[in-house]
Structure formats: structure tokens, C-alpha cells
Structure 1
């Protein structure tokens, strides 16, 4: 456990955040409990963040900026904190997401992180490891703030139909996840296509991959294996994956038809559950 008096602000972005939060809170003459009351969080949570035992969220940071008059400092700093908490091998990918003008993704079996709901992300990340699960979930979801930029990337996702049927997190989580995908209908910068089972053999059988395009830098292809990522700007690989992606988009359902399929699966597979007597069963939907 980190002792508050020995917290080294130079140890990490998280330590620096905690050091600054404590410094500004004390300068304002507030106890941890008082600041927590103002922010609508517990004093215990404030203390955990100040001692680098808990990862702050963007929401916490916005409230802290408003309460302590720090002119957006914590909101800017939390971006560094969250990025630093990503696995070392994935941090470069998070930077690519933030810089890219166009992102194209193909996923073979699940919804990709940039489109996941909290419940779905929690289920994926906690499948084998529950350690610091809430913090790791918050870190993953923070990547979605890329869509809140002044000029967000044009995002194109091709999902295998299998991603709609793999019941990750249970009935409620899946219904909420599919509803979240449908929420992007009409957004010209976020486009979702489903590659149906009927497509048969297709150009993505070798696995999932992402393409990141930039204003002036070379296009990057990113693939993953267990515990590591593989970004490359090799022209031959980029050319091959770009061609594969064009064929995947051509084989996939249109954006409109994809939404229709998602909606049908959501209602038919994850619709209202009933007991043996035909009465609705209460479901807890985890966002």
C-alpha cells in the first residue's frame, strides 16, 4: 500500500495525479470526505485516488476540475493516466487510435473494444482474471473518447455474425451490447457491417485485424496474439490487408441490412425472457 506521505509524483502518471489531487484539495481547505461530498463520491474513493490505489475516471476528473478550479488539469491528466494503465504492448495501439483519421476493423468472434458497453467489456476482461476488474474496464472504455474529439476518425467495423450470438456476459449484457451497436445508426462516421454466416469462405479467415490510416504517416496494420500486439507498416502487408478488407466489406451486409440483422438477433435471441408459466422473467441489464 502506498503511504500518502511517501507518494512520489514522478513515479507514474497515476502517482502524479494523486499527488496533485491531494495538493489542490488541501489548498482548498477540504478533507477527503468533504471533497467526496462535493463530487458525489465517497471520501474513501478520494483517498484511494490520492494514494494511487485507484484509477480516476474522466467523470471524476471533470468534477474535480469544477470543484477545485483547476481549469481542466485533471481532465487532461486523466488521459495520460488511463493510457499508462493499458498493457505495455497495447499502449502504442491506443496512440494509433487517437491519431488515426480512419480506422477499419474486422473481428471474427466478438465486438471490438471501441464499441463495447461497460457490461460487455467487464465480462471479456474478467473471463479469467478478476484482479482490478473495474479499473481495467474503465481504462478500456476510456479509449472510446476518441469519438468525442473535435474531428473524430471515420470508423468502419466489419463483425462476423458470430459476434452477435456468442453470449458474453449473459442475456442482459448482450441485449444492451446489441442495442449499443444500433445506437450508431445514422452516424456517418461510425459504420457497422455484419459478415453473415452465409458468406461462407471469406477474406478474413486468417483472423481479426485493424487498419489505421493517417494524414501523412504510413498506414498501419495491427494484429494480435496472446499477450502481444503486432503493428506493422510493411507495404506488402498493408496492401494485402487493405485488399482483404475491401473484399470483407463487399461480402458483408450493407450498413442498413446489418442493423436489421442486429435488431432481429437482439429481439429473437435476447428478447423478453419468460418462465415455464409464460410470465416475463425479471432481467438485470448491465450497461
Structure 2
């Protein structure tokens, strides 16, 4: 992410430069679709708008990169939690973020008919209440420039961290979004956030645990610290109880881990999936 100043203008912009054409194609498709929607929905301003897109030639001239232009925002919710004592955000920030994210999801699902599919703290950016943060950011560069590597065709700079901001949370990054809220299929979300439908390659839709817990509900890792779908599902069963047989029948892959009566037969993780934990605050299997 780079900050750029338009020539002859006092407006500062943020550039996101893509290397993968497939991802940017999806982003542009989604934004083009969103521009066709006339809405007064309260959640629409909670989605980061795209200002413009242009192509930049690579230094060797053999390829080009898509550059998306946005108004700048502050650090992500994920970055904020890593900077705070114990990694815990204030109750005010929690309430504001939940309100904004639920509002923007309602707009995306009900009016835009778009599923974000990558809802996580790193994709929620905090706004800046005024220009002072960007001014301090630029002043810091004037006073102590970041290290750089100068090559024949370009200069590579070390990234400078943004200061903490406390503005309005905004949902960003539509690189994994899907058009249409009807049932879809395929891998989505970072590993530990994946629903059982995704792991078992079932079809899924826009219906929504874990933005503000101090730890993840599930580890999804085996003793070798490798991503393990069996251990992930075992953890889910430990929290939710055994899934209904009719749920398992939706995928042949289910019977690698359960028998035809719904009894677990997979390798056990650190705790037994037959020992059901307190589920009073957790939704049950679909």
C-alpha cells in the first residue's frame, strides 16, 4: 500500500497495487456492480469505496500491474489488537465495529447481493478523524527517511508503520467477494475461520464467530502444527455436539470422519470430540 499525492492537489490517495490479475478482475467486477446500485442504506458508507483504477507498467516493460485508488484509511483492526495491552480493544470499539460490520453486511447481502467471504480483523480498517495522522506520517519521513535499496530501474523502500487511529471501522478488500447470495461452492476464508460446509466442500451461502475473542474458537491444527481438516471438525464437534446425519449426507467426504450413523471415527485432536463443552453461547450445526 502506497500513499500518493495528486499533482497540484492537496488530496492524499492510497494505492493498492495488484500482481495477481484474477484477484483484481474480481475486485473490479464487484465494484462495477456496486456502482450500479442506488441506495440510501446506512451500511453502504461502511464499505471502502473505489476512486479509480489504472495500469502501471513493470520496470522491465513485460507486464503491467493494476493500481486501485482509494482515500487513505488507518491501521486494521488486526494491527490495532497487536499493539494494545493484552490484545484487547475497548468496549466502545467493539460496539462500533459490530454495528458497522453488521450494517455493511446487511447492505451487501440484501441490496447489493454480494458475499464478502473474507471477513476478518485484517480486512477492517479504521478511519482517521482528521488529517493529523497523515501529516505526522509524512513529517516522520522528512525527519528520518526509511531505509531504501536503489536499483537501476526503481527504488525499494521499507514500509513505515501507521500510527494508531480510532476512526470509524470500514470493511475493505473485495478480492474474494462473490456476486449473488444464493448457494455457492469452493474454498473461502482464512484456514481457521472456515465453516464445516467449506471444509467438506458443501455449498454455502451468506449466513455468519470470532472477531473479538482473545483467542480463536478453533485451532484447526494437528500436533505437528499443520492445517488438519479432521482435527478442525473434531474441535467443532467438541463445541457443538455431533452433527445431524442429514447434514453429513450432504457430502460423501463426511464419511471419511463419521460413520453412517453419525458416530465420529476420525483421529482425535488434543481433546476428545465426544466431550461436549458448554454450548450456551454457540450456534448449533446448520
- Common fold, TM-score beyond 0.5? no
Q: Which has the higher helix share?
A: 1
